[in-house]
Amino acid sequence: MAYTRVSWDRALETGYTIVDNQHKQWIAAVNALFEAHQRSKGRKEVERTMAFLVEYTLKHFNDEEELQEKYGDPHSLAHKQNHAEFKNVAQDLAAVLHRDGPTDELISHVCVTISRWMFNHIKQDDLKMAAYIRSKEQQRSKTKRGWIRLYDGKN
């Protein structure tokens, strides 16, 4: 399966800026791996971009998990399990790349696998997470406004 450059679009928007920016970076990291190979930057450089992609994936998962914990998201366990499964997939792909070296076929396989998982995951789990956080934040600001009205004697 040949890889074609992927890009961020509104369907992936969670409305949570930190998360959206990380998703954009994540997509850029997959494209960077593909381009490093396309431009024949050498095995070392390709492996370096792959290492960055894996590292960024782990960082991003970690940040989302902290966010879910902070807001007490009831879907956090299932979300975390999906992250854990994909961490293994990404690390295995990096190991295969290190063992076999970059070929057109392998780089396409890596980029297609990661980008497909990424897009599905954002649309399923991350959008759900963002909706929950938004509802919690709205609840909080409503409560806060209620207290302010009470304090001002306008209730």
Task: For residue 73, state whether it binds Fe ion (rule: CB under 5 A).
Answer: no
Question: Rounded distance, CA 139 to CA 128, Å?
Answer: 17
Token output for 66:
């902290």
Apex 93 CA angle, 1 and 96, nearest 5: 100
Which of positions 48-67 make contact with Fe ion (CB under 5 A)?
64
Question: Rounded distance, CA 43 to CA 70, Å?
Answer: 41
- By C-alpha distance, which of 24, 6, 9 is closest to 113? 6
Nearest approach, Cβ of residue 23 and Fe ion (Å): 6
- By C-alpha distance, which of 7, 35, 5 is closest to 23? 7
Tell me, residue by residue from 14 to 53, as one string, x for binding to Fe ion by CB under 5 A and - for no binding.
----------------------------------------
In this chain, which of 126, 127, 130, 133 binds Fe ion, going by CB under 5 A?
126
**Count of residues that interact with Fe ion, criterion CB under 5 A:** 3
Nearest approach, Cβ of residue 93 and Fe ion (Å): 18
Half-sphere exposure of 13 (CA within 13 A, CB side): 4
Nearest approach, Cβ of residue 121 and Fe ion (Å): 6
Nearest approach, Cβ of residue 4 and Fe ion (Å): 22
Q: Which stretch binds Fe ion (CB under 5 A): 96-104, 105-113, 122-130, 133-141?
A: 122-130
Q: Which stretch binds Fe ion (CB under 5 A): 30-38, 97-105, 126-134, 139-147?
A: 126-134
Token output for 143:
């409560």
Residues 3 and 108 sit within 8 Å (Cβ to Cβ): yes
Footprint of Fe ion (CB under 5 A): 64, 125-126
